[in-house]
Amino acid sequence: MPGRRRRVLVVTAVDAERDAVAAGLAAAGEAARGAEVVVGGVGPAAAAVGATHALVSARLLHEPHDLVISAGIGGGFAPAAPVGSLAVAETIVAADLGAQTGEGFVPVVELGFGRSEHRPPARLSRALADALGAAYGPVLTVGTVTGTAARAAELAGRHPGAVAEAMEGFGVAEAGAFAGVPVLEIRAVSNAVGPRDRAAWRIGEALTALTAAFGKLPGVLEVEAAHDGT
């Protein structure tokens, strides 16, 4: 993409996440020019629709995006991603898309339908995790937030190395695949994956971490674009 800055679409679930991302990009100044932040809604279906609308609209205006990012707060798997830390997806996994059987859960791909995961660009996602000091591994997309230790253990067992769970990443990744645009996922950890304890959640701390992450993001993208010769 010689001669122009990489155009990035960031999709969040709610306004507070959008505002945190926008604050980080604003702090980055000129380096963040070309970034667009939209609220897609909660859950994978809403996220897919919101991301697709933004991607297609930009293409119709002849201003296509080069990268789409699912971003927001989420749960972290201990000990890899403690509260207040960041997580970057090595893979984006639809963790509860499939069938429950007497032998356990079967992912949709093993049923012969569709896909169960997306892989962000490996070098870029790894470089971003390193720059942010973030945990790096599978980030799980769930339709129902985990609320018990048993469920957390089940997910961790099925997805070794999982660092976080949220509700939108796979939907955004599906939209990116439809549009032919690579995807990343960045999560700031507001709570531990496990028993639901609202008193232990640190949403404000997570949003602050999200702002800091997006203050650094444009610099990482510029370095990687230079490596790619773009």
Q: For 11-15, 25-29, 90-94, 100-104, which range has the lowest pLDDT when averaged over its residues? A: 100-104
CB 210 within 8 A of CB 73: yes
Q: Map out the domains of the chain as residue ranges.
A: 8-228
Crossing angle of helices 203-228 and 122-132, rounded to 10°: 130
Give the span between the Cα atoms of 156 and 160, in whole angstroms. Answer: 6
The amino acid present at 125, given as its one-letter code, is S
| 3-state DSSP percent of the chain in helix, strand and coil, to 5 | 45, 25, 30
Neighbours of 118 (CB within 10 A): 21
The residue type found at 84 is G
pLDDT tens digits, 135-172: 999 999 999 999 999 999 999 999 999 999 999 999 99
Q: What is the pLDDT of residues 29-76, one digit of tens each?
A: 888 888 999 999 999 999 999 999 999 999 999 999 999 999 999 999
Q: Is the pLDDT of residue 127 over 80?
A: yes
Q: Tokens 């991302």 correspond to what residue? A: 21
* CATH top class, domain 8-228: alpha beta
